[in-house]
Amino acid sequence: MTNIRNLAIIAHVDHGKTTLIDNILKQSNTFRENQQVDERIMDSNELEKERGITILAKCTSIYYKDYKMNIVDTPGHADFGGEVERVLSMVEGVVLLVDASEGPMPQTKFVLSKALKLGLRPIVVINKVDRTDSRIEEVLNEVFELFSALDATEEQLDFPVLYAVGREGWAVTDLNHERKDLEPLFNLFINHVPAPKVDTDAPFSMLATILSSDPYVGKILIGKVYSGIAKINTNVKAINLKGELIESTKLTKLFGFKGLERVLLTEIAAGDIIAIAGVEKASVSDTICDVAITEPIKSTPIDPPTMAVNIGVNDSPLAGQEGTKVTSRMILDRLKREAETNVAITLGVDENSESFEVGGRGELQLGVLIETMRREGFELSVSRPRVLFKRDEEGKLLEPIEEVVIDVDDPYSGVVVEKLSKRKGELKDLRPSGGNKSRIIFHVPSRGLIGYQSEFRNDTRGTGVLSRIYHSYEPFKGEIEQRRNGMMISNCDGETTAYAMFNLEERGILFIPARTKVYEGMIIGEHNRENDLDVNPVKGKKLTNMRASSSDKAIILTPHRELNLEEVISYIADDELVEVTPKSIRLRKKALLPHERKKPGKKDFI
């Protein structure tokens, strides 16, 4: 298979992977001349299009000068690092994309370390060189320093460099060369990325790396064929990482990739990245192979989750009014399906409970899962995220620490350092990064970062950029001060009135507008003091036949604070829940009745 090249494009979030792939597909004549093509073609998921980020790894293929190139687009956000770790086992080469202004970021370091450990020799592309604040030479030096810090071999340190603007579809080996297309990149794919080393005469075996589904053929497993040849109706078996038999079956459909489409094949051979159907029970990391094979293909171990939430049934007074999937059995089945396909997610099940512990890499990953479920019609109650502690051999408590890299305007650097220090963060580096900006690097406990994102956005007036990634487990850092303010809690059921809400504005910040359904125990806003406050948001104005110049003025309410799902989940306290339905996101106390909340030890009853 000397004419096949398998490679992945890896980078930090927003450094331009998916946009570059758009132009790779266009310049390889993948589309018809009159074909309408969207931007960020590979981001096919609804949430990906809305958020402008890649969540799921996806495979595409192009043909160039008699070569077939299988290209995998990977997520850039640290929360979806599990997707990146899986797909790197499928490829023989990687393209490391680095922003010409931001330089190497935490996820750059993470994905590069995984690629180097697998022995891959990266191609470095300095992207967005047309930015006014680009610092090309400095970024290239930072990339080299990063390779050295990650113990790259001499071969890996001798990486080729291209300068590019992925959005405009050009790349050059020297900035003085003509900037016309991506041909220098295509040539590097051929000359720098090695052909897969495989044995077509050995029995058939492939490693399932990505799980997909099709309404017509059912479950589809995508992966690289490591050895042999297979045809439709070939008898195969699926074995797990321990070599245990999962099922014996036949390959009913074989697919290859061409651009964005899956094309039917009659035969698949070693070295190619393909998709198969007909395997019902096997999942990610399982080996699909000839019946004679007994040893599974080794799969890269995935870093463990560092955070967990409890997801359970919605038992509020408004339960069942907006969703169609409301039972614990439906929720459990859906979470089991997610845990099968997403190796970075863990699921803890207590059969006697109506809530389930879901572990993940961070608030964004868990938030995307919950948002996907609510769009499918689920109603859920979600607890505050909590970090997953460990104990060392001596019994000492360990907690996950994250490396946080912050780019911020100089006037705001002081407040950022102060806030992260209060959250038990340890300052590792503070240096100017040009343009009156500073780059700050902290090591912060994961629990200290829960809920900090929205606070950071307010402190930096929306101009700061914060990136974080798991660093290590270290000894417990001590207690961290949580949210200072109390909540305003509804003490009755009904629909909020403008008159009542207007009178409550002086007590704090409201989370809901007028004419919203509320119930006793539901949180309607943040109190401006430390204690919780029971309030009546449904009170109407008393009718009177007396007229006064001030009594009939129109009530104008201050706009309420809008919080997105990830912000709400990280904002709540341990004795609170988020009620998630297809139409609403509500905050509530775990104990709805005031006398229940006042009982000692009751706040952790769920």
Residue 427: pLDDT band (50, 70, 90) is: very high
Q: Where in 317-461 does DSSP place strands (E)?
A: 346-348, 355-360, 380-382, 386-387, 390-391, 397-409, 426-432, 437-445
In the prediction, which pLDDT does 567 show? 83
pLDDT, residue 483, reads 73
Residue 529 corresponds to which amino acid? R
Nearest one of 302, 447, 306 to 365, comparing CA atoms:
306
Judged by DSSP in three states, 199 sits in strand
Amino acid identity of 388? L
pLDDT at 313 over 80: yes
Q: What distance lies between CA 533 and its chain's CA centroid?
A: 36
User: Which range, of 42-56, 314-328, 453-467, averages the lowest pLDDT?
Assistant: 42-56
The label of the residue with tokens 């590792």 reads 428
- Say if pTM beats, i.e. exceeds, 0.95: no
CA nearest to 464, candidates 503, 428, 415 = 415
**Confidence (pLDDT) at 141:** 93
DSSP H or E stretch at residue 8: strand 4-11
DSSP secondary structure of 434-446:
SSSEEEEEEEEEH
pLDDT value at position 40?
45
Please state the rounded mean pLDDT for residues 450-479. Answer: 84
In 3D space, the residue among 458, 459, 404 whose CA is nearest the CA of residue 430 turns out to be 404
Give the mean pLDDT of 28-49: 51
The percentage of residues in the chain with a pLDDT greater than 70, rounded to a whole number, is: 89
* Lowest-pLDDT range of 28-42, 221-235, 364-378: 28-42
Antiparallel, parallel or unpaired: β 235-239 and 229-231: unpaired
Long-range contact set of residues 31-40: C-beta below 8 Å, sequence gap at least 24: 31/259
**pLDDT of amino acid 37:** 47
Type of residue at 369 = L
Distance, in Å, from the CA atom of 505 to the CA atom of 548, rounded to the nearest integer, reads 23
Domains located in the chain, CATH noted? 4-192 (3.40.50.300), 205-290 (2.40.30.10), 390-475 (3.30.70.240), 487-566+589-597 (2.40.50.250)
Chain segment 62-83, per-residue pLDDT in tens:
888 888 888 887 775 555 555 6
Mean pLDDT of the chain: 84
- Give the residue numbers of the binding site: 14-19, 127-130
**Which residues sit in the known binding site for GTP?**
14-19, 127-130
Task: Report how far residue 144's alpha carbon sits from residue 152's, in angstroms, rounded to the nearest whole number.
Answer: 10
pLDDT tens sequence across 263-297: 888 899 888 988 898 888 887 778 999 988 888 88
Tokens of 97: 């994309």
Is the sign of the CA dihedral 500, 502, 507, 508 positive or negative?
positive
